[in-house]
Chains A and B, each alone.
Chain A
Amino acid sequence: MTKLSLPLLLALAAAQVHATPPDTVVAVLSRGDGVYMEAFSAFQAAYGSDIPHYDLSHGRPALPPQARTVVAFGGRAADWPYPARVNLVYAMAPGLLLAPRSPGRTVKVSLLPGVPRILSRMREMQPALKKLTIFWTAPRYDALMAETQAAAAALGIEVSLRKISGPEALPGVLRGEMGRMDAFWLPPDPLLVNQDNLRILREFSWSNGIPFYGSTRGMTREGAVASLGVTFRGVGEAAAALVRRLEAGETPPPILYPEAEELTLNASAARRCAIRFPGGLVERAAFLFP
């Protein structure tokens, strides 16, 4: 009993130490509910202590003077004018890439698990994939696109980037890409991802047998063959690990791609596009929509 009690007491003491709010870290949420809160909750749990947080939809954040790191969830929270001295870790801001700040560091937690992994999964599902077209609209996706081209070249995939200037341009661009692509991929671009566009993409994909790869579970549900993304919970956990690294004095890269990936598959879409999921892939999938 004594042997058991000692580690228990030590663990409780350690937990008590962590439970003390480390005012050096604060969180700012674009909105204090929904998926923003889901990610923040995961962040807090992974970080191991209560973190003061501010809901930007209810007013301006009042950062304590001792704040050293701000963790922002959502584009609006990320884009807030924080003092240059604090580190800024921002997540759930697709299409937004902030400029570096000094002396504080600025690091983005991506909603994607890394382009090489995404392309590898596509190749796994579609071994004959040679030409991939990526549709995007948001202005700050240029860096991701450049990285994608480099990663695709390593896999022998030819990538075409097609910027969609507006909602009405999508059907025309799709028609223009007929015969020039083996598949297309849609990153989590808020300017492009809406129900109407996804319907257009799904109908185009299904009627022409051209696989549509998405980047969130929502896209798979709407008709993409598969999506490789990161859960909002995974984003929060990755942000917590990132804050720990910053506290340890590390210099992380400007964009962090979370390790935890979420693969979702759509059996109907795959059937329409003559894709057969390898058995191992189905086992690894978080969701398989029938």
Chain B
Amino acid sequence: MKRILCAFLAALTPACASAAEPQDEFWDFMRDEAANLTVASPIPESVFNSVSNVTVIDRAAIERYNFASVPEALQTVPGLTVLRTYLMHNIPTARGALQEHYANKILVMINNVAAWNVVTGEADLDRVPIESVERLEVLLGPASVLYGTNALTGAINIVLRESPRSGGGLIAGGLGSGAGGLGGGLDVSRAGGFYSWRDKDSSYTFSAGSRREEQPAIAFTDEAGDRLSLREYFGARIFNFTGRRGRSSVLLNAAASDQNYLGNALTRASGALFNQSKEMLLAAYSLDLEPAWGRLRLAASYDWQRRDIPRDAQDRLRSEIEGARLTGLADAILLLRGGFSLELGAASEYRNAARYRNYDSDTGAILDDNGMRGCAVREDSVHFQAGYDGETWRLLAGTRYTSDSATGDNVSSRASAIYKFDARNSLKAMFSQAFRSPTAFERHYKPPTLTVLGNPALTPERAETWELSYLVSRGRFFAHATVYRAAYRDTIFRKRGDFTRDGILYADVNHYANAAGYESTGAELKAQYAGRHLKSFLALERSRGGRGDEHAISAPGVFGLPGGSSWNFKFVPEYTLSGGVSAERGRFFAASNFNLFGRNRSLRAGLGTQFWADLSAGCAAGPARHVLAVRNLTGRAVQIPEHVRLRVVETLPLHAGRRLEYTFNYRF
């Protein structure tokens, strides 16, 4: 009776409660034992059973390797590289299938809600600060049955973080070396945090953050021969809200970002060095019902984006690009007897590419609408999937039919079979297809200078992949190996030549066209070791592609340089290798991770291997954590081929010099 009384009193008084019930020790114990039973791996065991090729980077890995941003974390996924074009930073690229100017071949989602610019199609990896990320889920390979358009070569889902307890949260901040490199002063590189509140029926999390990354300035010679001091910078300000009450969920993401721009023609005359800004708003609501027969999800989302870019040497002429998507969907999963399930869904999306107009930034006068005023499209789709989940086999097959008011119909399918040797050892065979509808920009753009013309006759580009994956964990080791063969059809790219639009013949002009496509084969390997104090990973990708999309770049070009031959895989490194190691002892920890791109080529020259590495060390003092990091440890500029314009500039900088950053966070 005394013990009961003590427990009762303990529950009433927090101090006594903690003495009576060392709850933290209980969770430590469960975590320790889970680590012994699994692989002590940050990868949850769902990857063994997932019917797709999924890689997960969880919160523990983000903190362990001190990733500074979502793109930096994603760079360590085998088969995924984060590149740039001269128009955009942080463009995810899967299995060597290069993006054009815009990152519109990989779907990016926040809490499973797709977010992309309806005018040009690009997603944005910087809409969530790394401090607010709970988990990054990367699906490599075509995924239109699940997600519809834009999941052509893969999908990335950014899962937002919540505190496990009511009233909990985090405050984070950082100081980083700026454009002056280590010799310059320190600027605030990040600030933010989140706060969660919950009771038995509802939970809410607010997060806000800002990030600013400035790389040391480097010299850059533009197409006009002008030598520029190029200052690579990126900054974002973000607000997130997630709420759940009963069976309803709400997501709100608002973000604004700034980044340096290299012009639409890599010259100061076309706006290089001036600021490019973005504003984005995503609002989503979902109702998850749980009838006796399974699950029913009704959801709606609104995604608005605006981009503003410079277009001349005085920053007077600018372009404003704005559009929105409104999506509604219903998805039902029927749980049948014997491990069978059936999923049926329908979605409808209204896309309004409101404008891509040039304006005078001094007067606000509209100068041209580039043939793009109110380009609206409606897309409807239905999909179904049938699955079986048994003790040793998991099977799934499905298809999606899409009707696009502008580009017609598409049918994409998938089929997967998993053989589970045991809970930590599985073999997967997968076939998947996907499509990407051409964007309003690719179909309608028509600027007065005819830099590139949209093509209303474009058809969706398509992809299909055959994959075989083996996942195994033994003791503290985990390995995931994949081989695949991929085919890309009707690839949308920029082509130079005679082009007829609206009955007018344009001679030797840049325009969008569907290419014949190409094929590739590749292998990916990820290996992890998770000891108590030491953890490490290695991610290797090697891919080879055909030359089905090869086309000639005429010579001499407008700059008198020799021409050449261009195809997608010409600009893809022979291999990519990433790795990391982290160690902790008591309150102290240290980590290092690296990335290596094997040799590749630009249009006219060979490009050697590119290597960069980060090093960080820190200590935890109670709820506070302090980390000092050196980014791009060697200080060497990291170059990648310029693969879009193919005129004069052979390479673009991915990273400039060395940077130093101190960060801290405080949990409450």
- Mark A residues whose CB is within 8 Å of B: 30-31, 34-36, 57, 74-76, 79, 92-96, 137-139, 165-169, 172, 175-176, 178-179, 188, 190-191, 193-196, 203, 206, 216-218, 221, 282-283, 285-290
B498 contacts partner chain A, Cβ-Cβ < 8 Å = no
Q: A165-B45, A176-B335, A218-B23 are in contact. Are A74 and B33 (CB under 8 A)?
A: yes
B38 contacts partner chain A, Cβ-Cβ < 8 Å = yes
Residues of chain A contacted by B36 (CB below 8 angstroms):
30, 74-76, 79, 93, 96, 190
- Mark B residues whose CB is within 8 Å of A: 1, 3-4, 7-8, 11-12, 20-23, 25-38, 44-46, 48-49, 164, 200, 290, 292, 294-295, 333, 335, 389, 422-424, 532-533
Q: How far is the CB of A30 from chain B (nearest CB, A)?
A: 6
Pick the residue among A75, A172, A175, A216 that contacts B32 (CB under 8 A).
A75
Q: Is the CB of B335 within 8 A of A172?
A: yes
Residues of chain B contacted by A57 (CB below 8 angstroms):
532-533
Q: How far is the CB of A231 from chain B (nearest CB, A)?
A: 11
Instruction: Report the nearest A residue to B45, measured CB to CB.
Output: A166
Residues of chain B contacted by A166 (CB below 8 angstroms):
44-46, 48-49
How far apart sit A3 and B27, CA to CA, in the bound complex (Å)? 53
How far apart sit A193 and B36, CA to CA, in the bound complex (Å)? 14
Residues of chain B contacted by A191 (CB below 8 angstroms):
34, 37-38, 45
**SS of B interface (majority):** helix
Q: A74-B32, A206-B200, A218-B26 are in contact. Are A165 and B37 (CB under 8 A)?
A: no
Q: Is the CB of B7 within 8 A of A190?
A: no
Query: Can you give 14 contacting A-B residue pairs, CB < 8 Å?
Result: A30-B32, A75-B33, A75-B36, A92-B33, A139-B422, A168-B46, A169-B46, A175-B294, A178-B292, A179-B292, A285-B4, A287-B3, A289-B11, A290-B12
Pick the residue among B34, B164, B335 that contacts A195 (CB under 8 A).
B164
Q: Is the CB of A190 within 8 A of B31?
A: yes
Q: Is the CB of B26 within 8 A of A35?
A: yes
Q: Is the CB of A190 within 8 A of B23?
A: no
Pick the residue among B8, B32, B335, B423 that contacts A288 (CB under 8 A).
B8
Residues of chain B contacted by A165 (CB below 8 angstroms):
45-46, 49, 389, 423
Starting from the known contacts A57-B532, A75-B37, A175-B290, 14 additional A-B residue pairs (CB-CB under 8 Å) come to: A31-B32, A74-B32, A76-B32, A96-B36, A96-B37, A139-B37, A165-B45, A167-B44, A169-B46, A193-B30, A217-B21, A221-B23, A289-B7, A290-B12
How far apart sit A193 and B34, CA to CA, in the bound complex (Å)? 9
Residues of chain B contacted by A196 (CB below 8 angstroms):
164
Q: How far is the CB of A197 from chain B (nearest CB, A)?
A: 10
Q: Is the CB of A216 within 8 A of B26?
A: yes
Q: Is the CB of B29 within 8 A of A35?
A: yes
Pick the residue among A36, A167, A190, A216 that contacts B37 (CB under 8 A).
A190
Q: How far is the CB of B326 from chain A (nearest CB, A)?
A: 28
Q: Is the CB of A95 within 8 A of B7?
A: no
Residues of chain B contacted by A193 (CB below 8 angstroms):
30
Instruction: Report the nearest A residue to B49, measured CB to CB.
Output: A165
Q: Is the CB of A175 within 8 A of B49?
A: no
Residues of chain B contacted by A282 (CB below 8 angstroms):
4
Residue of B1, B12, B200, B294 with most partner-chain A CB within 10 A: B200
Residues of chain A contacted by B34 (CB below 8 angstroms):
190-191, 194
Pick the residue among B25, B46, B292 that contacts A35 (CB under 8 A).
B25
Q: Is the CB of B200 within 8 A of A203?
A: yes
Q: How far is the CB of A222 from chain B (nearest CB, A)?
A: 9
Q: How far is the CB of B81 from chain A (nearest CB, A)?
A: 28
How far apart sit A210 and B536, CA to CA, in the bound complex (Å)? 43
Q: How far is the CB of B627 from chain A (nearest CB, A)?
A: 24
Residues of chain A contacted by B29 (CB below 8 angstroms):
34-36, 92
Q: A96-B36, A165-B389, A218-B23 are in contact. Are A139 and B423 (CB under 8 A)?
A: yes
Instruction: Report the nearest B residue to A78, measured CB to CB.
Output: B36
Residues of chain A contacted by B27 (CB below 8 angstroms):
194-195, 218
How far apart sit A95 and B424, CA to CA, in the bound complex (Å)? 14
Pick the residue among B4, B164, B335 that contacts A175 (CB under 8 A).
B335
Q: A139-B37, A166-B44 are in contact. Are A290 and B11 (CB under 8 A)?
A: yes
Residues of chain B contacted by A96 (CB below 8 angstroms):
33, 36-37
How far apart sit A69 and B147, CA to CA, in the bound complex (Å)? 58
Residues of chain B contacted by A74 (CB below 8 angstroms):
32-33, 36
How far apart sit A190 and B32, CA to CA, in the bound complex (Å)? 8
Q: How far is the CB of A256 from chain B (nearest CB, A)?
A: 18
Instruction: Report the nearest A residue to B389, measured CB to CB.
Output: A165
How far apart sit A76 and B29, CA to CA, in the bound complex (Å)? 11
How far apart sit A176 and B37, CA to CA, in the bound complex (Å)? 27
Q: How far is the CB of A283 from chain B (nearest CB, A)?
A: 7
How far apart sit A79 and B422, CA to CA, in the bound complex (Å)? 19
Q: How far is the CB of B415 from chain A (nearest CB, A)?
A: 20
Residues of chain A contacted by B33 (CB below 8 angstroms):
74-75, 92-96, 190
Instruction: Report the nearest B residue to A37, measured CB to CB.
Output: B25
Q: How far is the CB of B420 from chain A (nearest CB, A)?
A: 9
Instruction: Report the nearest B residue to A38, measured CB to CB.
Output: B25
Residues of chain A contacted by B22 (CB below 8 angstroms):
34-35
Instruction: Report the nearest B residue to A57, measured CB to CB.
Output: B532
How far apart sit A166 and B11, CA to CA, in the bound complex (Å)? 32
How far apart sit A167 and B533, CA to CA, in the bound complex (Å)? 25
Q: Is the CB of A172 within 8 A of B38?
A: no
Q: Is the CB of B7 within 8 A of A288?
A: yes
Residues of chain B contacted by A36 (CB below 8 angstroms):
29
Q: How far is the CB of A208 from chain B (nearest CB, A)?
A: 10
Residues of chain B contacted by A79 (CB below 8 angstroms):
36
Residue of B3, B29, B30, B292 with most partner-chain A CB within 10 A: B29
Q: How far is the CB of A225 from chain B (nearest CB, A)?
A: 15
Residues of chain A contacted by B200 (CB below 8 angstroms):
203, 206
Question: Ordered nearest first, which 9 A-B pairs have the shortest CB separation?
Answer: A166-B46, A75-B36, A190-B33, A190-B34, A287-B7, A218-B26, A34-B25, A76-B36, A139-B423
How far apart sit A19 and B273, CA to CA, in the bound complex (Å)? 79
Q: How far is the CB of A2 from chain B (nearest CB, A)?
A: 39
Q: Is the CB of A283 within 8 A of B1?
A: yes
Q: How far is the CB of B336 from chain A (nearest CB, A)?
A: 10
How far apart sit A262 and B144, CA to CA, in the bound complex (Å)? 53
Residues of chain A contacted by B12 (CB below 8 angstroms):
290
Q: How far is the CB of B23 from chain A (nearest CB, A)?
A: 6
How far apart sit A157 and B31, CA to CA, in the bound complex (Å)? 32
Q: Is the CB of B37 within 8 A of A95?
A: yes
Instruction: Report the nearest B residue to A93, measured CB to CB.
Output: B33
Q: Is the CB of B30 within 8 A of A194?
A: yes
Q: How far is the CB of B477 from chain A (nearest CB, A)?
A: 14
How far apart sit A165 and B1, CA to CA, in the bound complex (Å)? 41
Pick the residue among B4, B37, B532 that contacts A138 (CB under 8 A).
B37
How far apart sit A75 and B38, CA to CA, in the bound complex (Å)? 11
Pick the residue among B8, B164, B335 that contacts A290 (CB under 8 A).
B8
Residue of B3, B34, B44, B45 with most partner-chain A CB within 10 A: B34
Q: How far is the CB of B228 from chain A (nearest CB, A)?
A: 49
How far apart sit A139 and B295, CA to CA, in the bound complex (Å)? 28
Q: Is the CB of A288 within 8 A of B4?
A: yes
Instruction: Report the nearest B residue to A39, measured CB to CB.
Output: B29
How far apart sit A92 and B33, CA to CA, in the bound complex (Å)? 8
How far apart sit A172 and B288, CA to CA, in the bound complex (Å)? 12
Q: How far is the CB of B518 from chain A (nearest CB, A)?
A: 35
Q: How far is the CB of A189 from chain B (nearest CB, A)?
A: 9
Residue of B4, B30, B45, B48 with most partner-chain A CB within 10 A: B30
